Structure 1
């Protein structure tokens, strides 16, 4: 098997409206398809930004989701690369979103090859934003 690229990330949420607003209005994704009543779910929505796609979906009707925790196995966060970390941070803050994760009491902090910050989406997904591609 030869994998060409990552196709999408699927995120389930019990706060669909807030999550959809976060990914579209705060991060800049565009809704490319929104399907109500999709396989026993209220919504299944495809979001796209450049080549990145997110499938945002509600839980199946009458199902309660477990809250997100970084202690779960599997994916821990989603990371996006930006040209200017301070500009990206200020853009999010200017839109009124302030759910940033602190490290050493700082929202933007230095890592080995640059800077990053983490913001938490309404459904709990941790979003990492960094300014260096090298690890």
Structure 2
């Protein structure tokens, strides 16, 4: 079998600057490339965290993208492992972002660790967890 790994996900947004700030300044992705006016889009950019990439793009010129809903088919969320979940949550809260609460709490216990979820400006659900296992 050939070697395979997840290279990137593509996230589309109507709020490019806000989404870029979220992934870069809040979650720590590095902006690798930003291409304005890319194939009839306002922007198509690449962000990197470790060996994982996000392709962040706007809709095509004049297009207003529909919002993603958590109860639809397809990718529901993506997850980032963090070494200090409490510190990450405190930092993100300082930036003014809200978390999806479970039983009134941002951080909650799962089978073998803790996690939390928040919603990026374009509607993508981001899970942060402190357990590297499944």
Counterpart for residue 5 of structure 1 = 5
Counterpart for residue 58 of structure 1 = 58
Q: Which runs of 4+ in 1 moved over 2 A?
A: none
Counterpart for residue 15 of structure 1 = 15
- Does the aligned pair in 2 maintain the 1:26–1:97 contact within 8 Å? no
Counterpart of 2:116 in 1: which secondary structure? Answer: strand
Matches within 5 A, 1:108-127: 108-127=107-126
State the TM-score, normalizing by the size of structure 1. Answer: 0.94
In 1, Cα distance between equivalents of 2:98 and 2:40: 31
In 2, Cα distance between equivalents of 1:66 and 1:92: 26
Counterpart for residue 134 of structure 1 = 133
* Unmatched tracts of structure 2, length 5 or more: none
Counterpart for residue 88 of structure 1 = 88
* Unmatched tracts of structure 1, length 5 or more: none
Counterpart for residue 28 of structure 1 = 28
User: Could you give the per-residue CA deviations for residues 62-104 of structure 1, whole angstroms, max 9, x where no partner exists?
Assistant: 222111101221100010011121122122223x232211111
Counterpart for residue 103 of structure 2 = 104
In 1, Cα distance between equivalents of 2:126 and 2:52: 14
RMSD: 1.2
State the TM-score, normalizing by the size of structure 2. Answer: 0.95
Following superposition, the deviation at residue 3 of structure 1 comes to 4.7
Count of residues in correspondence between the two structures? 134
- Does the aligned pair in 2 maintain the 1:118–1:129 contact within 8 Å? yes
Q: Does 1:44 align with 2:38?
A: no
